[in-house]
Structure formats: C-alpha cells, structure tokens
C-alpha cells in the first residue's frame, strides 16, 4: 500500500524518529507476546479435552489426573445409548435449523439490502432485538408461549426455537454479502433483457451463495451449541449439550470428550476446505 502522507517531509527531523522507533519496539515484542499468551490461554481447554479423551480413566468417568493412554473411548465412542441419541438429535436439529434459516433468511436479506420499504426500520429493530436479547429471556418467553398454547415440548419446539434465533444471523451475513455487490450487475442483466427473476437466479444468486453457506454454517454452529434456550423448550427431549450438562453432577463419561474432539477436528476440516474453496474462487 503506497502511503502518500509518509512521503511528505517530516516537520521535525529529530522527534518523530525516536517516537516511531519506540512504537515499533513495543509493537514488535509486547503485542505479539501478549497475543500468543492469549492464544495459549485460548487453547488450554481444547488441548485438555483432546489429551484427556485418551485418558485411561477409572470407572468410565473423566478424571482430572492422568492414568495412562488408551484408545478404549474411541473404539466405544457410541457405547452410551443416551449420549449417542442426544448427539443424533443435535445434528438433525442443527441441520434442519441451517436449511430452514437459509430459506427464510435469504429473501429477507434481499429485501433489506436492495429495497427501501415501509417497515424497514422496524424490521431492523426486530433483527437487532433478536440478536441482543439474552438467551434466558428468549427461552423463558418461548416456554411461556408454548405453555399458554398447550403445545407439547419436544424436538419440534427445539427446532422452532433454534430457527427463531438463527434466522437473523443468516439475514445479517447474506445482507452484508449483498451490500458488497455491484448494483450495475443488475442493470447489465436488465439491459441484456433478463427479467428480475432470471437476473436473480443467473447473476445475483451464484454470487451470494458463499454468503448463504456462511450464514447456514453459522446457524448450524449456533444450534448445535445452544444450551440455555434449548433447556427451556426441550421438555423430555435431550440434545448433546443438555445431556452433557445433565451429567455434570454424576460424572462425565470420556466419550463426551471423544465426541468433542471428533467434532472439533471435523469442524476445522470443513472450515479449511471452505476457506480454500473460497480463495480459489476469488483467484
């Protein structure tokens, strides 16, 4: 990046040099050192989870001391029926949440990014409130709502609740992607005789697909990780976080850490593949 201001002659030849040198020093030692310290702090629980998923813990419960390495828990990862079923529930709900949120959120993102209309500000406030509202309040209000209408709580109500908080994130992400697009693309398509419908599917949609996928992945991640809202609307249904939270008092089987490790590795692989695909598309 060429910097025009830096090419101007310095007003005072002696002073800025010392200032700049001191700043460079601080930025080249202190800040990176701090960054890497924070990163160590960040990965401590992750490393703990991965290492202790191999721990030969007695009684099939996670212990905080090392008893030797074993791959028992990996070979018996699905041995606990309730936990496996909870994980299946979580994956299914997260997948459906992502799909429904993408279908509902993308058109709204289109309307918010491309049109001026009555009620747009109110919609903005609603999106903002949905993002900012604390989970306990959202969960409690949904439970009150379901109780009032006598709707039985279960997997369906979990899905309904998850879409209610995930859809706005799809709107925000897709809208940001749309805002970055050049409007003249629409005009060019129209000049070439495309109807708005055709122009959308042939020109705009392919360009915002990465945004839709990113929004969907965000919705998936938030759904599979949600505990607080789910705990209110779950009834007797059990998801992975609910199961683990429920097991805190009785003791956590190492399979929980195994599943966590597998999800961690899988998530990183997906993220890396997505990044590589994106950079290749842009290249």
**241: closest CA among 126, 87, 74?**
87
Q: Does position 14 bind another protein by CB under 8 A? A: no
Q: Which of residues 116-135 bind another protein (CB under 8 A)?
A: 116-117, 119-121, 123-124, 126, 128-135
| Options 13, 41, 81, 152; binder of another protein; rule CB under 8 A | 41
| Options 94, 96, 110, 189; binder of another protein; rule CB under 8 A | 110
Q: Report the distance separating Cα 106 and Cα 168, nearest Å.
A: 10
Beta bridge partners of 55: 69
Q: Provide the minimum distance between the beta carbon of 136 and another protein in the complex, in angstroms, as a whole number.
A: 4
Q: Which of residues 146-205 bind another protein (CB under 8 A)?
A: 147-148, 160-161, 163-165, 167-168, 171, 178-179, 183, 196
Give the length of the chain: 283
Q: Provide the minimum distance between the beta carbon of 68 and another protein in the complex, in angstroms, as a whole number.
A: 16
Q: Does position 230 bind another protein by CB under 8 A? A: no
CB closer to another protein, 71 vs 141:
141
Q: Does position 225 bind another protein by CB under 8 A? A: yes
C-alpha dist (Å) from residue 116 to 27, 106, 270: 45, 17, 37
Dihedral over alpha carbons 101, 102, 103, 109 (to 10 degrees): 100
Q: Which of residues 262-281 bind another protein (CB under 8 A)?
A: 263-264, 267-268, 271, 275
Contact 52, 257 (CB under 8 A): yes
The DSSP element (H or E) to which 42 belongs, if any, is: helix 15-52
| Options 206, 248, 282, 283; binder of another protein; rule CB under 8 A | 248
**237: closest CA among 164, 160, 165, 166?**
160
Q: Does position 68 bind another protein by CB under 8 A? A: no
């Amino acid at each position: 990046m060429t910097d025009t201001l830096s090419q101007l002659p310095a007003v005072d030849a002696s002073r800025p040099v010392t200032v700049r040198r001191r700043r460079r020093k601080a930025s080249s030692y202190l800040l990176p050192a701090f960054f890497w310290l924070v990163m160590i702090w960040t990965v401590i629980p992750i490393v703990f989870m991965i290492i202790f998923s191999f721990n030969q813990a007695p009684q099939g419960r996670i212990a905080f001391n090392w008893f030797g390495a074993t791959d028992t828990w990996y070979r018996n990862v699905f041995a606990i029926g309730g936990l496996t079923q909870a994980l299946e529930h979580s994956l299914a709900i997260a997948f459906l949440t992502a799909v429904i949120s993408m279908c509902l959120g993308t058109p709204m993102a289109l309307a918010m990014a491309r049109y001026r209309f009555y009620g747009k500000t109110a919609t903005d406030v609603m999106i903002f409130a949905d993002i900012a509202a604390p989970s306990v309040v959202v969960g409690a209000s949904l439970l009150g709502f379901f109780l009032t209408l006598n709707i039985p709580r279960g997997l369906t109500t979990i899905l309904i609740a998850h879409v209610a908080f995930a859809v706005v994130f799809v709107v925000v992400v897709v809208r940001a992607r749309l805002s970055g697009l050049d409007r003249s693309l629409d005009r060019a398509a129209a000049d070439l005789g495309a109807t708005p419908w055709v122009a959308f599917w042939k020109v705009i949609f392919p360009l915002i697909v990465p945004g839709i996928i990113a929004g969907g992945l965000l919705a998936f991640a938030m759904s599979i990780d949600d505990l607080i809202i789910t705990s209110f609307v779950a009834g007797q249904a059990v998801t992975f976080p609910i199961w683990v939270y429920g097991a805190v008092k009785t003791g956590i089987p190492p399979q929980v850490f195994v599943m966590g490790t597998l999800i961690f590795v899988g998530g990183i692989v997906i993220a890396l593949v997505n990044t590589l695909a994106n950079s290749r598309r842009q290249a």
